[in-house]
Amino acid sequence: MIVSRQFLDEIKLEASRVGYGRAIERALYNTANKFVCLRRLEIILLTRDQLAPLEAAKHAMLTSRLATEHELRAMRAERRWEISDELIEGFRAGDSCLLSFVGGKRAGYTWIHTAGRPRLCPGLRISVPQDYAYNFAGFTLPEFRGYGLQPYRHHEILSRPEWRDRKGMLGYVQCVNWSSRRGQAKSGYQPAGSISLVGTLDRFTAVLSSEVKQLGIRRIDD
């Protein structure tokens, strides 16, 4: 088997963060999923009592507000913000984007879906209990990492009048996305089961763990 230089470089880069064992596991996982669907999505849950405490000094520098479609389109044009057409379409369908600022400078965002039927990936849509918001697609510019924006955004979402009645938030992370899993745990998210996808790239079966079913989550038509 011929291994490309790019493949090895990606493993080395990931290994510098999580070690070679996990780096190789992630590389093999991603390679396999280019040809078949063998994925596991770890469902995570954040309730109000699990919100991570905020550092007072950093918190004083942070502000947030909801984005407008005009702002999102301008951010998409800049490209560095990772705003896709799919996110814009979701905004038009009712999703919200919470922008976060450090010292008045736009630093990142996160998205909130409250209609109860988020699309996790192409071909997989789930139902979410109405007393939870679905939180997804968080992003922070590299120069603003370290300010505690992720837990700050979680506090802001659950304190806003639009979502003050929610018990908490649900989300998911790929099983081999070690950095994201670590970051989500630090911000208060707890494991809440998994959804395993098995099949072809176009058609797959979704197996929901018992913990996920107990939350009231179901697969629905996409």
Write out pLDDT tens, residues 145-202.
999 999 999 999 999 999 999 999 999 999 999 888 988 998 899 999 999 999 999 9
Identity of the amino acid at 212:
V
pTM: 0.89
User: Which position has the token pair 């998994």?
Assistant: 194
DSSP 110-131: EEEE-SS--EEETTEEEE--TT
Nearest to 124 by CA among 203, 192, 180: 203
Give the pLDDT score at 40.
Answer: 97
Taking 70 as the threshold, does the pLDDT of residue 2 lie above it? no
Mean pLDDT along residues 74-95: 96
For 179-192, how does the pLDDT look when each residue is reduced to its tens digit (9 = 90+)? 889 889 988 999 99
d(CA 213, CA 91): 28
Taking 60 as the threshold, does the pLDDT of residue 80 lie above it? yes
Mean pLDDT of the chain: 93
Give the pLDDT score at 7.
Answer: 64
CB within 8 A of 25, min separation 6: which ones?
176
User: Which position has the token pair 């304190």?
Assistant: 159
Nearest to 100 by CA among 75, 130, 134, 128: 75
For 8-22, how does the pLDDT look when each residue is reduced to its tens digit (9 = 90+)? 767 777 777 778 888
